[in-house]
Chain A
Amino acid sequence: MSAGSKEANEQRPEGLTPIIAMQDVQFQYPGAEGTALRNINLIIQPGEFIAIAGTNGSGKSTLCKCLNGLIPNYYVGDLSGSVQVAGLTAAEETVSSLSRKVAYVFQDFENQLVRPTVYDEACFAPLNYGYADYRERGQRALAMLGIDHLKEQWIWQLSGGQKHLTALAGALSLDPDIIIVDEPVAQLDPYHAKLIYEKLKLLNEQFGKTIIVIEHHTEFIADYCHKVILMDSGTIRWVKPVQAALSAVDELAALHILPPQVTLAVRDAETAAGQVHLRDRLFPITIEDAAAYFSEAKILSQTNNALVINEPIRKSVRESVPASNPLVTFTNVSYGYKTITRERYPVIQDMSIRFYEGDRIALVGNNGAGKSTLLKLISGIRRPSAGQLDVCGYLTKQASPEQLADFVAYVYQNPEEMFIEDSVRKDVEYFLKSRNSPDYSSFVDEILHRMRLTDLQDRDGRLLSGGQQRRATLAIGLAMRPTVMLLDEPTASLDASSRREMTDMLAQLDGQVKTTVIATHDMQLVAEWANRVIVMHNGAVALDTDQRSLFSHVAVLEKTGLLAPQITQLSQRLGIDPPSLSVAEFIASVVGDPSSPHYVNRSKESAAIGSH
């Protein structure tokens, strides 16, 4: 029996019936070599809000699929041990009887939605199970999540966040006792992810649902969950209350889970101040706690003078770059698409902006602000409906995407849509081959080597892991030797270590391309990578600035639904000006370490993670 399960059992208050009880559970997928789950002993009480964390392939989803009967009824494999769910013995039940107790929202929730409208979707499950009151159930589920106003909408017209809520409503309509949500943050922007968590919290507190999330974004875990189950290669390593769990900074880092920035900040600040940490030392895990901690001035007192940084803020790029010729020039560009009512829906409105050599542009803004459309306009696959767009001397209106491809590389948000060949190497070669470039193969070798894809070059891109897929798409873009590189959400749905790796690779692009534009929600990426930030709102530029001053424009951030990185928020709370963009910077300004560089691309947490 593992140490973790003992701990879990010890925590069981006497007299309460657990809602989930797993004993010595072991599972092996048919035809698979190793076991997917081993020695699983787990007790979960009703009304808990639990996070399951762990690396890819550690068995998180497999564990959850044992709870709703998909294992072993759908994935026929060898399951042993006993599973009790909501008073039912799983081995004697079917998927349909267990699913009424356990709702499941998949990570790729888009594919879970099978009906045309929101209301249909909400009623689907109760209708299938023959509940005569299926309409009321659907209606009630929508009301619980506060999306009844979307009732008549077509699913395809919804935003990502709304789709996720709809998937949740579809699961909720069966009135389950347990709700399992698989990686809600992965496919959503931070604003909507927070919204989902608020709804889950509501379901937990007001309706008494037991919530289980599979999650590796520790900042959300810290804010919402009660307990953390840490999984590692098919076993439960431990179950701990959330603060104890997230304070195990080094253990989490070893499993590629990035602890909250504020937790790292406290830990690093104390280390810098020469404190030695006991093994079960609890660190603050939320901004509030961390702010309280630092205001108590345990270590601040000695470094008060360091709070004000005298170094000048780096000038905004537009001022610092000499008036060279712009690479991309928008002149009063507007773009809209026709809706099915034949009306034109404006996406970009009368936009004028220039991109120069040396720009590392982060394009931020909420969903639907027009970020992706802007990239598509530059790549030539959309054409402005008014105004002129000049890209490297070509007017996009008159040039085909094939012609523009000589200057512009566009890396999609969804890597799978970029893999058009049956191996990574062929995909990387495609551009050069179609242009009959002489001796391209050594160049391709070099790129594959640099993107660490040499061993993967013969595999099909879509069969790779998330991080590998991103690297492969970046390689495809690089092989085009572009002047302008466009990337759409290059760090979305990556785990901490892949995200780190991607940020590093993006930092290396400078020598290869003249300017890079990244549309992103990842504020840590913005903080650490960009030198120019363009905030878009409703198809127009709301702000064009550098990354540091971005976070002091509180009104703009609020209007556009952007959230500054936790560490930036913390430093703002503490009145540090300019706000810190990384933990290392924060430590430098708090502890006043003069050797720490002010602009750090690799913060300390990255070093900790990257070394594994």
Chain B
Amino acid sequence: MVSAPKRRYELTQSQKLMVFILSMSLYGISNMFSELIPELKLGPIELKVEYFAFIPLTLCILFNPLYAALGASFGEVIFGELLLGQFGGLGELEKFIEFTIAMYIAGLLVSDPRNRKQLALASFVAVGIDQMLGAIVDIGKVWFGIEDLEAVPGIPESILLIEGVGFLNAMLITGIFFSLLPTLFLVPRLYGKIEPLLGMKPRDSRVAISFGQLLTPRLLITAILFVFVGVIAEFLAESDINFAVWEPEFIEQYGSGFIWVSAIAALIVLILTLTAAFRAKAKSARASGNVKL
């Protein structure tokens, strides 16, 4: 039997658990509702509530973004899928990763919860990153699922169109009504009030942001943007579409390999940054004698 480690639990560990549980149950329950809200379909354009993005976003901004983001994603899987008997297996994994990354980055972006500009930016970044990553996976699926994509004319453009419309729709409906407005409403009201309920001090905006902290989210966003553009470009290149816009001259000069290189480079940057970010978190958690969540 392992003897209980005789040490003082740092307060932070239970706080993390609290943030995790709070985020899990609240986003989970909202997810159950959004699953049930009927969608308004106008042809291929669906006006639907994708998710109540403001809940995890608010928590990511007010508390530790990593645990709030993880909690929200767990909440979605548990409440929105498992308890409703709709667990999609591996499909959930991709959603999980996309959503966690998006919320984590958006949460990191806000250094001062009272700064409305930062809040607005974070609101769109959260939805934007999630939708972008989702689009990448969707495109990837078609690409992979259809044997010779280039042999079937029209499909790549069609997919792009649909993903584009979906992206715009999400940015407008979810981004404005379920991310921007509620976040602007909630965060300033909750800031300084919800933290003591959990026995914590509010995040202090005056704390100087270290260079690393400042750099990481931007780097991440850039990396994701690169991957996004890269995949679309590659997708188009693969399927031999000749959009003037999409085929800059340098491709002819350097060959289409260039896009591959840039896409892969971007992907590597993304993976490296993410690993570094998570490592650093884990390290600091271990260093303070915490059980890793």
Contacts and interface: CB of A to CB of B under 8 A. Distances in A.
A and B touch in the complex (CB under 8 A): yes
A75 B189 CA distance: 27
B17 to A, nearest CB: 11
A422 B11 contact: no
Given A31-B201, A130-B1, A72 B189 contact: no
A74 B14 CA distance: 8
Contact of B8 (A30, A31, A73): A73
Contact of B4 (A30, A94, A460): A94
Contacts of B199: 75
Main secondary structure of the interface of A (DSSP, over half): loop
A76 interface: yes
Interface residues of B, number: 13
Contact of A94 (B6, B189, B193): B6
A76 B8 contact: yes
Interface string B192-212: 010000010100000000000
Contacts of B1: 130
Contact of A422 (B9, B14, B189): B189
A75 B14 CA distance: 10
Nearest to A422: B189
Contacts of A94: 4-6
A403 interface: no
Contacts of A76: 8-11
Contacts of A31: 201
Contact of B6 (A75, A92, A422): A92
B290 to A, nearest CB: 13
A460 B193 CA distance: 9
Contacts of A463: 193
A96 interface: yes
B75 to A, nearest CB: 15
Interface in A80-98: 92, 94-97
A95 to B, nearest CB: 7
Contacts of A72: 8
Contacts of A460: 193
Nearest to A94: B4
Contacts of B14: 74
Contacts of B6: 92, 94
Contacts of B193: 422, 460, 463
A275 B11 CA distance: 57
A94 B8 CA distance: 8
Contacts of B10: 76
Nearest to A30: B11
B188 to A, nearest CB: 10
A28 B5 CA distance: 25
Contacts of A73: 8-9
Nearest to B12: A76
Contacts of B4: 94, 96-97
A75 B198 CA distance: 12
B25 to A, nearest CB: 11
A463 B192 CA distance: 12
Contacts of A95: 9
A541 B193 CA distance: 45
A30 B15 CA distance: 14
Interface in A369-419: none
Interface string B122-142: 000000000000000000000
B183 to A, nearest CB: 16
B187 to A, nearest CB: 12
Nearest to B21: A114
Given A96-B4, A422-B189, A74 B9 contact: yes
A31 B9 CA distance: 18
A112 to B, nearest CB: 14
Interface in A7-42: 30-31
A76 B193 CA distance: 21
A96 B8 CA distance: 12
A327 to B, nearest CB: 36
Interface in B234-258: none
A94 B11 CA distance: 14
A282 B94 CA distance: 73
21 contacts: A72-B8, A73-B9, A74-B9, A74-B14, A75-B11, A75-B199, A76-B8, A76-B10, A76-B11, A92-B6, A94-B4, A94-B5, A94-B6, A95-B9, A96-B4, A97-B4, A130-B1, A422-B189, A422-B193, A460-B193, A463-B193
Given A75-B11, A76-B11, A92-B6, 19 more contacts: A30-B11, A31-B201, A72-B8, A73-B8, A73-B9, A74-B9, A74-B14, A75-B199, A76-B8, A76-B9, A94-B4, A94-B5, A95-B9, A97-B4, A130-B1, A422-B189, A422-B193, A460-B193, A463-B193
Which 10 residue pairs of A and B lie closest in terms of their CB atoms, listed nearest first?
A94-B4, A422-B189, A76-B11, A96-B4, A73-B9, A73-B8, A97-B4, A460-B193, A74-B14, A94-B6
